[in-house]
């Protein structure tokens, strides 16, 4: 069955989304700053790409992986496309990667900007904003003199002579301290560097050296952009599973993020019963999950697990499984990502469960009334104020949920000013247009309303086509023909909900009609006074105030206005 927008239900967060088949095959991978808004575009009436209708038709589900930043989503999208090679992705299959900043393991470390970092090096990245990363590397070289040459030269190099390198090839004193400072900056502790740059920017600005101040400003932005890019990658992600748990009441969701070769490879999620304790729930899941698959080298758990389970995992793997509950660093980022995705999954599960609760309410209502089904309920209500703006409305509930596209509004056409005759007119007009009869027609009122509508349906030959009931507000009592009144309990909540929704809908319509009438021009409602005569009338008296103060005899002096029309104009204004 093709996926639809309701079943997708993605969060308002940054991340990637995957269109998948039932067999788990990935058809398309995309990224978004707000997943819910991006997915909505795939179900628009006029899609912007020709492949979208075919993609939606073939996909059975839409999975999402939220990330901490949009930049992280960019990285993860590229990795997942390279991993799955989806049919409908036309780009990013070429194996290219984002750049890293690197400090090598030499005696005097070298700084590098590269897409293929050495395996033994200390790495930061990958960086989606490659330009900012390159600017930061140049800044670090200029500020701290970190070398970038491939080999140490006894006579020094050009970078040393122009002030871009501290010259460790000649004198390495203090170079280790410089490297440690760069380590801290790339790890995110860039406050001292930023404060120095801000001071230089303000000094240049006060001296009206605005071009130099702008350069410092751009460098500040580059440092902040680079040090804030916590992406879903790290050199410590090697054969690692991160478990995330979230729960709402007894309902829980567990997410497992798989990471290897420095990147997040994908995720799996399962609904579980929350056992009242995180440790017990996670331990039970681990024992079931890894019973039929090889455990990873590193397992990140939200809480410490039992020692017996550790021994069992080691036996299943045939080697030691390291189990950690990280509190900081790259592993903590991965554990946080798993927990955030679990939060999203449990909300989606709760939404699906609420749909089943509404269906259950319809089933309980049918059981209470002794009916086989209440999956299609139509409810009517009327509104007026001293005979002014007489209107009615009908609402429809399908499987316990409001079907708002089937709501209808009615303006009473007859001269009736009592609710009984007005409802009779509206119900008859509704019935004449029906191609499908409801499981129950519900009206707001008591026994008198029930009797009146029953007779109206009999007069038109609709008696017995569908059940009819009236719901009185006093004690929430249901009246049905030939049956004793029934006071509703909790099982009848679907009927109360339908009645209250009809009341809200018709009153909203009534207020709008009354407001519109107060704002309308009384002359526009005068029978026989068209646009041309109205224009002539206004010109003759020099405006609306002149018309309002005119007598009937004075109105008759206007060309085209006779005694009858003149009297109607006067009456409408007075």
Pairing between strand 322-324 and 26-32? unpaired
Predicted confidence at residue 397, as pLDDT, reads 94
Q: Say if CB 534 and CB 525 are below 8 A apart.
A: no
47, β-bridge pairs: none
CA–CA dist 554, 283 (Å, integer):
94
Least confident of 21-25, 354-358, 407-411: 354-358
- Cβ partners under 8 Å of residue 185, min gap 6: 140, 193, 223, 227
Q: What pLDDT, in 10s, does the model give residues 323-363? A: 888 887 777 878 888 888 888 888 777 766 555 678 888 88
Q: Which domains does the chain have, with CATH numbers?
A: 5-84 (3.40.1440.10), 100-227 (no CATH), 240-349 (3.30.420), 376-517 (3.30.420.340), 522-573 (1.10.150.20)
Predicted confidence at residue 441, as pLDDT, reads 94
pLDDT at 442 over 90: yes
pLDDT at 226 over 60: no
pLDDT at 452 over 80: yes
Q: Is 240 left (phi over 0), alpha (psi -120 to 50) or beta?
A: beta
Distances (CA, A) of 306 to 153, 286, 290, 303, 323: 57, 11, 15, 10, 11
Task: Report which secondary-structure segment, H or E, holds 27.
Answer: strand 26-32
Taking Cα atoms as reference points, which of 153, 333, 145, 156 lies closest to residue 233? 333
- Mean of the pLDDT values across residues 64-82? 76
CA–CA dist 143, 161 (Å, integer):
15
pLDDT at 129 over 70: no
Taking Cα atoms as reference points, which of 491, 482, 467 lies closest to residue 379? 467
Q: How many Å is the Cα radius of gyration of the chain?
A: 37
- Mean of the pLDDT values across residues 266-272? 77
Question: At 561, is the pLDDT very low, low, confident or very high (cuts 50, 70, 90)?
Answer: confident
CA–CA dist 31, 358 (Å, integer):
33
Predicted confidence at residue 92, as pLDDT, reads 42
Q: What pLDDT, in 10s, does the model give residues 471-490? A: 988 778 999 988 998 988 88
Least confident of 72-81, 244-253, 293-302, 466-475: 72-81
Taking residue 26's Cβ as centre, other Cβ atoms within 10 Å add up to 21
For the chain, the average pLDDT equals: 80
DSSP symbol at 523: G
- Cβ partners under 8 Å of residue 311, min gap 6: none
Task: Report which secondary-structure segment, H or E, holds 143.
Answer: helix 130-144
Taking Cα atoms as reference points, which of 537, 80, 44 lies closest to residue 263? 80
Least confident of 144-158, 230-244, 268-282: 230-244
Q: What pLDDT, in 10s, does the model give residues 508-530? A: 888 888 776 655 566 766 777 87
Taking Cα atoms as reference points, which of 244, 245, 247, 243 lies closest to residue 347? 247
CA–CA dist 368, 282 (Å, integer):
41
Report for 17-31, 55-69, 129-143, 452-466: range of highest mean pLDDT:
452-466
């Amino acid at each position: 069955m093709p996926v639809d927008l309701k079943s997708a239900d993605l969060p308002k967060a940054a991340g990637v989304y995957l269109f998948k088949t039932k067999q788990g095959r990935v058809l398309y991978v995309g990224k978004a700053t707000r997943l819910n808004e991006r997915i909505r575009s795939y179900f628009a009436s006029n899609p912007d790409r020709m492949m979208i209708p075919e993609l939606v038709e073939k996909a059975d589900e839409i999975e999402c992986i939220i990330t901490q930043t949009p930049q992280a989503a960019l990285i993860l999208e590229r990795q997942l496309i390279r991993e799955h090679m989806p049919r409908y992705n036309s780009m990013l299959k070429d194996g290219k990667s984002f750049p890293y900043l690197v400090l090598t393991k030499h005696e005097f470390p070298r700084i590098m900007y590269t897409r293929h970092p050495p395996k033994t090096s200390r790495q930061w990245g990958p960086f989606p904003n490659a330009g900012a990363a390159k600017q930061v590397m140049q800044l670090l070289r200029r500020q701290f003199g970190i070398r970038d040459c491939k080999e140490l030269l006894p006579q020094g190099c050009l970078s040393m002579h122009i002030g871009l390198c501290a010259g460790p090839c000649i004198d390495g004193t203090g170079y280790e301290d410089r490297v440690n400072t760069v380590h801290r900056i790339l790890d995110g502790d860039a406050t001292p560097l930023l404060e120095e740059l801000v001071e230089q920017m303000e000094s240049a600005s006060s001296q009206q050296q605005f071009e130099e101040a702008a350069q410092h400003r751009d460098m500040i932005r580059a440092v902040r952009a680079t040090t804030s890019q916590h992406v879903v990658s790290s050199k410590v992600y090697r054969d690692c599973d991160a478990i995330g748990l979230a729960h709402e009441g007894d309902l829980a969701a567990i997410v497992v993020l798989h990471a290897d070769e420095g990147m997040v490879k994908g995720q799996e999620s399962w609904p579980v019963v929350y056992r009242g304790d995180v440790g017990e729930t996670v331990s039970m899941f681990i024992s079931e999950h890894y019973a039929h698959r090889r455990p990873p080298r590193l397992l990140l758990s939200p809480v410490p697990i039992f020692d017996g389970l550790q021994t069992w995992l080691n036996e299943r793997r045939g080697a030691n499984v390291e189990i950690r509950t990280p509190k900081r660093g790259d592993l903590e980022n991965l554990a946080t990502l798993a927990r955030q995705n679990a939060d999203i999954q449990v909300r989606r599960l709760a939404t699906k469960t609420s749909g089943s609760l509404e269906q259950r309410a319809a089933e309980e209502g049918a059981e209470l009334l002794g009916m086989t089904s209440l999956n299609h309920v139509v409810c009517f209500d009327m509104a007026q104020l001293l005979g002014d703006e007489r209107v009615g409305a009908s609402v429809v509930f399908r499987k316990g949920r409001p079907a708002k596209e089937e709501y209808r509004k009615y303006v009473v056409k007859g001269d009736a000013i009592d609710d009984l005759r007005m409802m009779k007119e509206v119900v008859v007009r509704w019935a004449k247009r029906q191609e499908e009869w409801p499981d129950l027609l519900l009206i707001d009122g008591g026994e008198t309303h029930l009797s009146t509508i029953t007779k109206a349906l009999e007069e038109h030959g609709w008696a017995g086509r569908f059940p009819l009931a009236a719901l009185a507000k006093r004690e929430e009592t249901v009246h049905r023909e030939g049956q004793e009144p029934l006071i509703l309990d909790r099982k009848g909540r679907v009927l109360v909900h339908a009645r209250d929704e009809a009341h809200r809908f018709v009153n909203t319509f009534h207020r709008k009609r009354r407001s519109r009438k107060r704002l309308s021009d009384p002359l526009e409602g005068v029978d026989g006074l068209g646009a041309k005569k109205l224009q002539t009338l206004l010109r003759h008296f020099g405006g609306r105030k002149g018309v309002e103060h005119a007598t009937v005899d004075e109105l008759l002096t206007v060309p085209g206005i006779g005694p009858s029309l003149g009297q109607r104009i006067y009456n409408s204004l007075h």
